[in-house]
Structure 1
Amino acid sequence: MFSKTPMLRFFLTFVLLQLSFFGINMLGVVQQHVVLPWTELLARACVALVMLFDETAAAAGKVLWNTATGFGVSIEPGCNGIEACIVLFSAVLAFPSSWRHKLVGLVIGFLAVQGLNVVRVISLFYLGQWNTQVFNFAHEYLWQALIMLDVLIVWLLWVRAGSKSQNSSGPPPPPAPPAHAPASPKPAGPLVSASLDLSPPVR
């Protein structure tokens, strides 16, 4: 368990990183050159997967739509996985660990969040064609909760992996003191008879 000071430091760093990243994300230049191209790439990736079993899907910018029915979903901010990645990245960077372990967490976390986000977009694409009420519930409540749950689970697994790594790579235990050799018994001296000589003296 952490003491109060490291926990407070982690919380404050986590909040400050989120504020910084969300502020950068809202800049016009970032939206134009990073967020929008990524969102369009996400739409094309979803179309590529959907076309494996449905040839009526197409992408126009950030919109995934059905060429047969005309129904489409637009991938707006909050649906491209960037905000969830910001939360996860802030938690990983704020947590005390090695930079190598942080890099592993950032890469795996990004793949986990964006992979699940692709599933979200595709599922909403078909839910919207089936039932509008179910689509609204899944879009506004269900998938929002699942994405944040994914962020939490990935972060907890990453923290646990780091703890196991530190325990396994800790300093080796001190060597055991050498065993003392048993004292060798002292050699027994010659046995001397203590009996008296009772023979008569020689004259």
Structure 2
Amino acid sequence: MLQLFKKYSVVIRFIAVFLGSYFLLSVLYNSYLIYSEGQTQYYPDLITNLVSKQSVALMEFFGYTVRLEPHTKEPAMKVFIGDNFLVRVVEGCNSISVIILFISFILSFFAKMRTSIFYILAGSVLIYTMNLIRIALLTIGIYEYPNYASFLHEIVFPLIIYGTVILLWIFWVRVYANLEKNED
């Protein structure tokens, strides 16, 4: 049995670090969400509110007249172009859960401290930025092509955010593998 642990120690370490860090970061994020419940200044929570406002600013940059208002029946921000209510930005749209997944993977393939921390920060900023672009393009896409709303929301836009994460992971594994080879 001990030989199996030694043989698969890298895999066991990867799984343990991934699950442990994912669990810890998810608990911290969930605590933040619980703490945010009921507050009204940054409805529904600070990060979702910020993502909503930044996505609106991006749409306005593209020349659209956009309005944002709190949803009265659920924890979300409603986004309008003109008088058309198009999308709701909910907590799941703020990219934090995707960033947690990304960070957990990078921690599982931890390289040198400075390199890993830099990559986690840079990757998180890229994911966050891609998410803002995704929300803006989704809203504009639904406004311009309402018949494709379901396709855009369910296929194209998850592909953008998860595709970004997968590409970041692939890049990291290639870089990490090279770092490990150079250290030997």
Question: TM tier, shorter chain?
Answer: 0.7 to 0.9
Aligned equivalent of 1:101, options 115, 118, 131: 115
Aligned equivalent of 1:64, options 58, 79, 84: 79
Q: Is residue 109–residue 176 contact of structure 2 (8 Å, CA) maintained in 1?
A: no
Aligned equivalent of 2:60, options 43, 51, 63: 51
Pick the structure with more strand per residue.
2
Greater relative contact order (CA < 8 Å, ≥ 6 in sequence): 2
Structure 1, unmatched stretches of 5+, are 172-203
Secondary structure (helix, strand or coil) at the match of 1:96 reads: coil
- In structure 2, the CA distance between the partners of 1:20 and 1:30, relative to structure 1 (3 Å rule), is farther
Aligned equivalent of 2:22, options 15, 18, 24: 18
How far residue 38 of structure 1 moved from its aligned partner, in angstroms, is 1.2
> 1:1-203 alignment to 2 at 5 Å?
4-27=8-31, 28-29=34-35, 36-61=45-70, 62-66=77-81, 68-168=82-182, 170=183
Pick the structure with more helix per residue.
2
Query: What is the TM-score with the length of structure 2 in the denominator?
Result: 0.77
Q: Is residue 91–residue 155 contact of structure 1 (8 Å, CA) maintained in 2?
A: yes
Query: What is the TM-score with the length of structure 1 in the denominator?
Result: 0.71
Q: Which amino acid aligns with 1:124?
A: L
Once the two structures are superposed, residues 159-188 of structure 1 have per-residue CA deviations (whole angstroms, 9 ceiling, x without a partner) of: 3223334545x47xxxxxxxxxxxxxxxxx
Secondary structure (helix, strand or coil) at the match of 2:92 reads: coil
Q: How many residues align?
A: 167
Secondary structure (helix, strand or coil) at the match of 1:88 reads: helix
CA–CA separation in structure 2 for the residues paired with 1:35 and 1:165: 42
CA RMSD, aligned part only?
2.5
Structure 2, unmatched stretches of 5+, are 1-6, 71-76
